[in-house]
Structure formats: structure tokens, C-alpha cells
Amino acid sequence: MTIPADLPPRVQIRDVGPRDGLQPEEPVPVADRIRLIDALIAAGLPSIEIAAFVSPRAVPAMAGAAEVVAGVPARPGLVRTALVPNARGAQMAIDAGADEITVTLSASETYNQRNVKMSLAESEASIAEIVGLADDARVPVDAVISCAFGSPYEGEIAPVDVADLAGRLVDAGTTSITYADTTGMATPRRIHEVLDAVAPLGLGRGDAGQPGLHLHDTRGTALVNAYAALQHGVHRFDTSVGGLGGSPFAHGAGGNLATESLVAMLDDLGIQTGIAIGALIEAAAIIESLVGRPVPSGVAHHGPRSQAHRSRS
């Protein structure tokens, strides 16, 4: 089929299920987390957030991060990403052999205080320190700006303020920027407003001028927001297998956009991802078994549109 002229021909997806999806759940053994990651690799995911180097007392579900990284050997074409909260976590991730580091701070001062226990200014200083360590190790750093499309505490966040924050992160040396809809407040209008505001940043270092999106489905708008971003030329997305995830520090923070939902839509549009939808649905079944309840993803349960003829009422 012919891809609509205003959409990118290929999209890169980073699955955050082994970290963001499992982080709010009861702890899953390291071996089972590695089994999930292996299933995502088998499905063709090029980038996976596999661990978080955080205090196991604060986030018990992420204990054993170094063992997870060790259990997923480096290989060509795979980016193994680790979330870190500070320089100590960054050094641990680097020592463990992570291919990429993600750091998070919020466009909402209140959410930032609740999420990482730092002011926004303190977070920016911490990220600069992390970038210094990562530069020495030649490890890229992706900064994820949470509440980029609105805050559950302050309400509206001006797009120009999001752009100013992103610009400071690019100046600090981050390799790329991802804009997160932490509580599902984004709409297609809001997606375009924020992307318009950040467009003048330029390329910065690496891919910093090519924004990524991390969408949540609190209000059932994640997929339409992804389509709006595609129309804006975005070709990098964070998603979570099964649609699991969500922040414990923001009321109403629903799960992430399900990886299989986005892949099914992209397949239907003729946009390449390199991900096999059948194997991805098998990975969703694994994470469903690990958490012990049905995942929220409709595609995980019913398959993509191309398989609809196999269903029986």
C-alpha cells in the first residue's frame, strides 16, 4: 500500500514494559523479567527499557537491575536501556553495561518533587552530572520530560515552558528528548502545540531535535495522539507490551500505550517497524501471566484487524 504522504515510512519503538510496565507491580523474579525481555527481542523490538537502577527499598520491583542487564547480552541492533535517578544509579548502569540511559524530570514542579524528590533545578543539575559520566563512557542519555502535555497538579503547562526545559537539557548534553504524557492529558491539538513549540530546538547532539513520545492511555486517547504525532513527523515512540505501567505519584496515571496496539496500527498503514505482531502478542501473554491479571490491551486479547475474520461471536 502507499503510505500517506504526511507520515514517516518507518517508526522506532522502545518497549518500556520490563521497566515502566512492571515497576508498579509486585516484584517479578529476575529470571522471569529476562524471559519477557527475550520474548520482546524475538518479536523484533530494537530498543527495550530493561531495568531501573534505583533503590530496591524505594522500588522493590526493580531490584536486581545489574543481574537483568547481565542476563540480556549485548547484540547488534539492540539497545538495552536503563532508567537512572541520579549519578550513582548512572554509574551502576554504566558498570553493568547498559547501552543507553534514560533520566526523567518533569515540566511540573510539583510532580517532579513527588516523583524524584527534587526540585526541577536540582534535577537539571543531577542530569548534567549524569551526562558527564555517560559522556566518559560513550553512553547516550535520553531525557524524558514527564507531564509535557499537562500536570495533575498545576494543570496546563505552557508549550513554551516545555520547549525551554528541553532546550536546557539539550544544552546540558542529553542525546535525545522524549516528551511524556504522564497522566493522559494530551489531545491531538495539544500534541501539535507542544511539537510546534519544540521544533526550533534543532538537532542539538545526536537525535535531540527529533522528539520521541511516551504516551499514556488514561482517557483512551493514546493511539489517536500517536497518529497526530506521526502527522507531525515523529518516528520514535515509547510503548509498553500489554499496555501496563503508570506512575504511582500522579492520580489517574493509566497504563502506557500498548506496544501491540501501535504496531497493529502501523502495520495497517504500511509503516515499517521490524516487529512481528504475532510474537509481540505472545510477549503480552507472558507479561499477563507475570502480573496475574488480564492486561488492558485489546489487541493482546483480540489480535490485530487482519486477524478479525478468525474471531467468532
What domain range includes position 222?
Answer: 12-302
| 309 found inside a domain | no
Average pLDDT value for residue range 254-264 = 93
pLDDT tens track for 38-69? 999 999 999 999 999 999 998 999 999 999 99
CA 30 to each of CA 19, 51, 64, 70, 288: distance values in angstroms, whole numbers, following the listed order: 12, 10, 7, 11, 16
Average pLDDT value for residue range 186-198 = 95
| 4 found inside a domain | no
pLDDT of residue 115: 81
| 207 found inside a domain | yes
Spell out the residues 6+ positions from residue 303 whose beta carbon is closer than 8 angstroms to its own.
281, 310, 311
Q: Which of 21, 30, 29, 12 is nearest to 79 (CA)?
A: 12
Question: 202 and 166 in contact (C-beta within 8 Å)?
Answer: no
| 67 found inside a domain | yes
Q: Looking up cell 493514546, which residue turns up? A: 222
| 116 found inside a domain | yes
pLDDT of residue 17: 97
Q: pTM for the complete prediction?
A: 0.93
CATH of the domain at 196: 3.20.20.70
| 307 found inside a domain | no
Question: C-alpha cell of 113?
Answer: 518533587
pLDDT of residue 117: 86
| 2 found inside a domain | no
pLDDT tens track for 218-248? 889 999 999 999 999 999 999 999 999 876 5
Q: Give the number of domains in the chain.
A: 1
| 42 found inside a domain | yes
pLDDT of residue 205: 42
pLDDT of residue 313: 35
pLDDT tens track for 88-120? 999 999 999 999 999 999 999 998 888 888 899
